[in-house]
Structure 1
Amino acid sequence: MFSITVRDHLMVAHSFRGEVFGPAQRLHGATFLVDATFRRAELDADNIVVDIGLATRELGTVVAALTYRNLDDEPHFTGVNTSTEFLAKVIADRLAERVASGALGEGARGLAGITVTLHESHIAWASYERAL
């Protein structure tokens, strides 16, 4: 399996419901390093997994729709604990929609999957992996 990874970052505010979250139940900020990995079994006709420039642009577009927002105020997330794991899935699903729409080029239609990893810090991160 071949893969390429592109990176961006995400800055949000949010709070959580539930005793398991301790002080994070209060409104707080989070900055995530976001890695999006695109996979395919065989390289395309140009001998690439996907155009790195397009992958970087589309990750940036997806992240821009979330960054500098209080996620508690976003209608799409009403009543949802926007955990690191949950946000990784949101970003992966939105990237998959971009692939399906052709935003990453026709060659991207041969991708097998996407993994999104959100790094909370240098010692903790979460990932979501999905097939395409």
Structure 2
Amino acid sequence: MYSLTVADHVMVAHSFKGEEFGPAQRVHGATFVVEAEFRAPKLDRLNLLIDIAAARVELRKILDSFDYNNLDELPEFAGQNTSTEFLCHFIHGKLAEAIRAGRFGEGAKGVESIKVLLRESPLAWAACEAPL
């Protein structure tokens, strides 16, 4: 299995609902390093797994949709606790949509799974990995 990873970052504000979250129930900021790993069992005819430039562009487009925003105020996150795990799943879904729509080019047709990892700090991170 081959893998290729691109990375970027995003800065957000958000709050959580539920006593379990203690002080995180108040609005607070978070900066996430976002890694998107694409996996395929073989390379395409050009010996590529996926076009790195296309992957970086699509990841940035997704992140731009909520970067420097309060997630509590965005309709796509209404009523959700936008946990690190939730955001991994959200980004994964958007990347999968982009691949299915052909925005990664022909070579991406061999991608079988994507893993999205968000690093909240050097000591804590979460990931979502699923097949396409």
Mapping for residues 1-132 of structure 1, pairs under 5 Å: 1-132=1-132
Q: Deviations over 1:41-84 (max 9, x none)?
A: 01111111101111111111111111011110111111110000
Looking at structure 1, the residues matched to 43 and 21 of structure 2 have their Cα atoms a distance apart, in angstroms, of 43
Letter in 2 for 1:67: D
TM-score (norm 1): 0.98
Looking at structure 2, the residues matched to 113 and 123 of structure 1 have their Cα atoms a distance apart, in angstroms, of 26
1:123 deviates by 0.6
Q: Give unmatched runs, 5+ long, in structure 2.
A: none
Q: Secondary structure at the match of 2:121?
A: coil
Moved over 4 A (4+): none
Letter in 1 for 2:57: R
Q: Secondary structure at the match of 1:126?
A: strand
Looking at structure 2, the residues matched to 62 and 80 of structure 1 have their Cα atoms a distance apart, in angstroms, of 18
Letter in 1 for 2:104: L
Q: Secondary structure at the match of 1:9?
A: strand
Q: Give unmatched runs, 5+ long, in structure 1.
A: none
Letter in 1 for 2:105: G
Give RMSD over aligned pairs.
0.6
Identity of aligned residues (%): 54
Letter in 2 for 1:105: G
Count of residues in Structure 1 that have an aligned counterpart in Structure 2:
132
